[in-house]
Structure 1
Amino acid sequence: MQTNGTATAAPKQTTETAPAVSVVIPAHDEEANLPPLVNRVREALSDLAAYEIILVDDGSGDRTRAVALELAATMPELRVIAHDQAGGQSAAVHSGVQAARGALIATLDGDLQNPPENLPALLAPLLDPNAPADLGLVAGQRVGRRDTLSKRLASRFANGLRARVLRDATRDTGCGLKAYRRSAYLALPFFNHQHRYLPALFARDGWQVMHVDVTHAPREAGRSKYSNLQRAMVGIVDLAGVWWLIRRRKTARPHEVTGGSGQG
């Protein structure tokens, strides 16, 4: 992994102040979508005192990396991470979260089908001062999907099968809009296509999962990186693997407690 275009802090945040939120955006061949996407993310988060945007170029063959670096040159809150070759969406998210400085992570896809205007609703439960200590993940669930009929039907079947096998109480795990605690995410077992199983994996580690309905938009530029057949082929193996992980889950989540004075 290479880090390119890492910028200084935005006017709202100094180098001494860690951002409250890091927005991680995986992108592969999305050069046309990046300028409007980043601008809409900035507008959606304008009420936050401190945030950063981490755009991960996952081995793009177009000008995605160049466009991202051009944006970063004028947007101090934007950082660019680059993969020399495509590793997939989960790998891109993982790289972004590893590089993030915020304790809270928000993610969305780089194709503008996840409207950034949903970010405040996703982050609000975690930013609430009275948020439950065990709230680990707020998962977006798309309503009014703007995909082709074949993709919607394939997604409905895959989500139904996954929900029956994993019992994760989630209608739509394929939605890229999510918010979660960085430390909790990094403690999860990592594997390719992990992003589709986050509700089950967070629950496996004892975290509470909340769901928020989010909007969806049609793709206006670029093209989808997956076919229905590709999703089905890898989905069967992944589902079996996650089922195994849940069966072997930890029985307790450690937390720090205050000890005595230490004096004999």
Structure 2
Amino acid sequence: MNYEFTIIVPIYNEEENLERLEQELSAYISNTKTGTQVLLINDGSSDRSQQLIEGICGRHSEFHFLEFAENRGLSAAIKAGFDHADTPLVGYMDSDLQTAPEDFDLLLQHIGEYDLVTGVRASRKDSFVKNMSSLIANKIRRAFTNDGMDDTGCPLKVIRTEYARRIPMFKGLHRFLPAMILLQQGKILQVPVRHFPRMAGKAKFGLWNRLLGPLADCFAYLWMKKKYINYTIAKKG
């Protein structure tokens, strides 16, 4: 089958969510009009996640996996997905299912005109502390990047693979994907998507990861923006 779209799903110790993840993603693949495959990235899990992942991939030809030798973090998992995707479009979502795979179709409607379409979580179902820290972090990041995005932490995005592969990833850069597309003179859009409470497993980000870490990353982004190489070929012969 000629797939058009690869969904990257980073996984770190999410054994309690993987059965439901399999059900929801396989149902989405069956119903969407876009030829879709799934790439599960096991980011060095220490629980039964890898065993369950291999079972899922054995049951569905559209599912594939990569297993890291050790835990390397969310940005590394996303980069691995970008590196190994073989479709024109790539997207990603979290394995905790706080966003719905069906909402990828809301993003795919616009990807013809844009190079990145990201979700913005409407009526977030997180704790007050988590919501407030994310709100503050997004305001700080937006002041540094001027990307106009309200919720870059939303784990539901669709990107043209040619743009995704040109992003020079570093740890924490997953929060700056829209800004990195703008550096490539690409076009970006945000679209409201649904958000659900976490049903199982534990959140992997605390106050440092969500607020203080991104602030430090903003300075790394500014350095990268100043040094970023971008060019357009006018003629070839």
Shorter chain as denominator, the TM-score bin is over 0.9
The CA distance in 2 between the partners of 1:38 and 1:249, in whole Å, is 39
217-226 or 44-53: which moved more? 44-53
Partners of 2:38 and 2:62 within 8 A in 1: yes
CA distance in 1, matches of 2:207, 2:13: 19
Distance 1:57 1:247, change over 3 A: same
Alignment of 1:107 onto 2:92: yes
Alignment counterpart, residue 8 of structure 2, candidates 24, 45, 49: 24
User: Kindly tell me: are residues 256 and 27 of structure 1, through their superposed partners in 2, closer, same or farther at Cα, counting changes over 3 Å?
Assistant: farther
Q: Which of 225, 232, 236 in structure 2 is aligned with 1:254?
A: 232
Residues 230, 24 of structure 1: alpha-carbon distance in 2 compared, 3 angstrom cutoff: closer
Gapped runs of 5+ residues in structure 1?
1-12
- 1:144 is paired with a residue of what secondary structure? coil
Would you say the 8 A contact 1:22–1:104 is kept in 2? yes
Distance 1:232 1:49, change over 3 A: closer
Query: Which residue, out of 136, 142, 158, partners 1:157?
Result: 136
Which of 209, 227, 231 pairs up with 2:210?
231
- 1:236 aligned partner, one-letter code: L
1:8 is aligned to none
Q: Which runs of structure 1 show a deviation greater than 6 angstroms over 4 or more consecutive aligned residues?
A: none
Give the Cα separation in 2 of the matches to 1:239 and 1:165: 6
When normalised by structure 1's length, the TM-score is: 0.84
* Contact 1:31 1:64 (8 Å CA) reproduced: yes
1:211: Cα distance to partner? 0.9
Structure 1 pair 236–79 and aligned structure 2 pair: CA distance change class (3 A): same
Match of 1:76 among 61, 74, 81: 61
TM-score by length of 2: 0.94
Give distance in 2, aligned partners of 1:254 and 1:39: 43
User: Could you say what the CA RMSD is over the residues aligned between the two structures, in angstroms?
Assistant: 1.7
Distance 1:255 1:139 in 2: 28
Q: Is the partner of 2:39 in helix, strand or coil?
A: strand
Q: Tell me, which stretches of 5 or more residues in structure 2 are unaligned?
A: none
Q: 1:9 aligns to what?
A: none
**What's the % identity of the aligned pairs?**
28
User: Contact 1:142 / 1:214 at 8 angstroms: preserved in 2?
Assistant: yes
Q: Report Cα offsets for 1:172-230 as digits up to 9, x if no partner.
A: 01111000011111111110111100111100110000111111111111101111123
57, 60, 78: which one pairs with 2:45?
60
> Match of 2:74?
89
Q: Is the 8 A contact 1:37 1:116 kept in 2?
A: no
1:111-260 to 2 correspondences below 5 Å:
111-126=96-111, 131-132=112-113, 135-250=114-229, 253-254=231-232
Q: 1:122 to 1:256 in 2, by over 3 A?
A: farther
C-alpha deviation, 1:253, in angstroms: 4.4
* Aligned counterpart, 1:47: 32
Shift in alpha-carbon separation, 1:255–1:218, aligned structure 2, 3 A: farther
Compare CA radii of gyration and give the structure with the larger one.
1
Amino acid paired to 2:26? R
The letter for the 2-side match of 1:161 is I
CA contact (8 A) 1:162 1:239 kept: yes
- Work out the CA distance in 1 between the residues paired with 2:59 and 2:27: 15
Is 2:32–2:105's contact at 8 Å kept on the other side of the alignment?
Answer: no
